[in-house]
Amino acid sequence: MSIETSLHQMSAGDLAAGLRKKTFSATELYDATIARIERLDGEVNAVVVRDFERARADARQADVAISRGEFKALTGIPMTVKESFDLRGYPTTWGFEMHREHRAREDALAVQRLKGAGAVILGKTNVPPALADWQSENPIYGRTHNPHALERSAGGSSGGSAASVAMGFAALEVGTDIGGSVRVPAAFCGVYGHKTSYGVIPMGGHFPGGLQPAAPLLGVAGPIARSAADLATALDVIAGPDADSPANKLALPLPRHGLLKSYRVFVLDHHPVARANSEVLGAIETLADQLVKEGASVARQSSLLPDINASWRTYQAMLHTIITRGDPNNSRPPISSHDWFGLLDDQQRIRRQWADFFRHFDIVLCPAFGTPAYIHTSEPDWRKRELPMDGEPSKFGDQLGWAGIATVANLPSTAIPLGVNKAGLPLSVQAIGPFLEDKTTIAFAGLVGHDIVPPPIA
């Protein structure tokens, strides 16, 4: 089997091992990856900005480094990044026609760190306008299709990112998440995705059209990969303070446990607003049963659980304020500064409740999204969309409830693949953990995640 035809089955760790053993060179790996993109991406439309010439030069430099025995964390590893990150010389449009002619003057900070670790950045992947949908389609680059079923969404807003990883177009990706934008695409495409603790990864160079406003609250960057170990590798590369950070060092704690039987797990399979269908809940229940058999502690009731309904209301109000800032089409009046500070008070109260909860538990399991990947819709108004749920309609926007649990509390959460259903659509769960304990949720994902099921066209 050639490198090109097996890329979708290999993790970044596998590729690094091949480079170290000189099974293939970085240039050969680059050539195989480009050939794969050019052969298969026409149907998927994931990699919409292509920086192949510069990447070829970077691959050659990686080979020179390898010949000298110089290896960094990502030396020679082919990657793509979400379109919303600056890549020098290319537009950062966020799907807006008005930014089509923009050209970034330098790479985003996360991209700089990836390149500094030796990664070969091939280009950028598709997003919805304003990064504000769970499907990735915009007037500049068109629609990204789910590799497992082309009529279905690859997720959003990091939909191109997850599709790229699932297809073997990139060994790693970096997306962003404020409303499930890493976790939902990872779930839909059957790969691993990690929403980081708030503030762990600086967001420099992640604004449309070269704007440089203050970084929004709630929003984070995070890696997408074909293994949990790759998530940890990428996190170590891109996490850490920037020049604007009040501290000059970040030391994320090691995972709480090394053995599955040591984990104290809480299963949250109900929400006051968001629903989940029988397939998603069944996959989570099967995982919970497996955890019990492995000796882990599994609970479904606790007086320590924060009020999920109150969290939902706070998250909804904060998210709406953040995403409508400066939007001329927003029909609702802005809230007062006093109201905003009240929301921050509510958020802090929620964060303290979760801190107390995680003194007694290590992981919360809940849906990343209430269904597998849904069929694309052309209806732009979320209020008019319906999401089929076990044969009944449900409100599309209510699915923000699952994403908001971790987001409003600034908590880390890892989307974990749990195989596929009878129709071949990926199933997933998110594992939420304590603030700054990103390595705990990633380690847990590595212990319970299923092998990646390749998309049929891959």
65: its two tokens: 């480094």
- The number of beta carbons lying within 10 Å of the beta carbon of residue 397 is 17
Q: In the annotation, is 297 catalytic?
A: no
Q: Phi and psi for 437 in degrees, rounded to 5?
A: -100, 50
- Half-sphere CA count of 236, side-chain side, radius 13 A: 13
User: Is the peptide bond between 157 and the residue preceding it cis, with omega within 30 degrees of 0?
Assistant: yes
Distance CA 118, CA 32 (A): 18
Distance CA 379, CA 396 (A): 11
Note whether 122 and 34 are within 8 A (CB): yes
Q: In the annotation, is 158 catalytic?
A: no
> What dihedral do alpha carbons 75, 81, 86, 90 form, nearest 10°?
100
Note whether 85 and 91 are within 8 A (CB): no
Q: Which of 11, 25, 82, 428 is catalytic?
A: 82
Q: In the annotation, is 278 catalytic?
A: no
- Bridge partners, residue 414, by sequence: 194, 431
> Minimal CA–CA distance to 304: which of 345, 358, 268, 262?
358
Distance CA 433, CA 437 (A): 6
H/E stretch holding 435 reads: none
> Minimal CA–CA distance to 367: which of 450, 265, 296, 274?
274
Q: Which of 25, 161, 164, 181 is catalytic?
A: 181
Length of the chain: 458
- The number of beta carbons lying within 10 Å of the beta carbon of residue 296 is 22
- Bridge partners, residue 175, by sequence: 222
Distance CA 222, CA 391 (A): 34
Residue 187 region by backbone torsions, left for phi larger than 0, else alpha for psi between -120 and 50, else beta: alpha
Exposed / middle / buried, residue 183 (Cβ in 10 Å: 0-12, 13-18, 19+): buried
Q: Which of 25, 136, 157, 161 is catalytic?
A: 157
Distance CA 33, CA 25 (A): 12
3-state secondary structure 134-147: CCCEECCCEECEEC
The owner of tokens 């304590």 is: 434
Distance CA 77, CA 30 (A): 8
Counting DSSP H helices and E strands in the chain, the numbers are: 13, 17
User: What amino acid positions are annotated as catalytic residues?
Assistant: 82, 157, 181
